[in-house]
Amino acid sequence: MSDPQVVPHHIAIVMDGNGRWATRRLLPRLAGHQQGVEALRRCARACVQRGVAVLTVFAFSSENWNRPADEVSGLMELLARALAREVPQLQKDGVRLYFVGARADLAPKVRADLAQAEAATAANARLVLNVCFNYGGRWDIAQAAAALAARGEPITEASLHGALGLAHVPDPDLLIRTGGEMRISNFLLWQAAYSELFFSDRLWPDFDESALDEAIAAFCGRERRFGKTSAQILSAHPDPVPV
């Protein structure tokens, strides 16, 4: 899975199923989120090993504020602990962190922690890890349009794309959702326009290297046409190359 011709450059994941994983084990929902952090660690390491350049994950949506208050506060505490524990290892592994989402709604300490983690990993280049936190696809498009309007710039596809939260990376080639649900839930609405979609029945804490390889294998078996015909794709690439 290390051939850059067959491995997607950018993988995005909706990490769904933490709460159900915990409930099935008669554990608090926060225990599922803790195991979800472990799954993210495995997945990021596997992406590095397989030559994936960008990994984007949906960690906390703008709708998640509607969850029980104790779960939300627990998630914030979990984030702080995870950053303190994981950033040194991410530095060693060459992973660069970006946090994408609305920061104004976050507590000052959380905002400071996110900025510090980004600064600490800014020189890394082996893998870009985008963590979408307090993020929503509709919010992303709206804030990009508002920013352009405030600057008096015309709103075009190109300018809007450049003002989005993930303007620093190419659009995802493969979008994975775990947990058995078949929707993207307000995640990367603009960027996923031509992403290949893969839905896994595994709950996120159970998502491992073999599950990632299954998704990549499915991606490699598809023909990405971007509006063209199969004949046009074949004429441009006479030697079959999985893309």
Pairing of strands 95-100, 10-14: unpaired
Cβ(185)–Cβ(163) below 8 Å: no
Cβ(52)–Cβ(11) below 8 Å: yes
Is residue 16 flagged as an active site residue? yes
Is residue 3 flagged as an active site residue? no
3-state SS string for 42-81: HHHHHHHHHCCCEEEEEEEEHHHHHCCHHHHHHHHHHHHH
Which one of 16, 113, 140, 173 is the catalytic residue? 16
CA–CA dist 13, 204 (Å, integer): 10
CA–CA dist 212, 243 (Å, integer): 17
Pairing of strands 127-135, 196-199: unpaired
The region, left, alpha or beta by phi > 0 then psi within -120 to 50, assigned to residue 51 is left
Please give the structure tokens belonging to residue 225. 């046409």
Which one of 3, 18, 64, 208 is the catalytic residue? 64
In DSSP terms, which residues pair with 177 in a beta bridge? 14, 199
Residue in the block written with tokens 């592994």: 93
Chain centroid to CA 7: 16
Residues identified as active-site: 16, 64
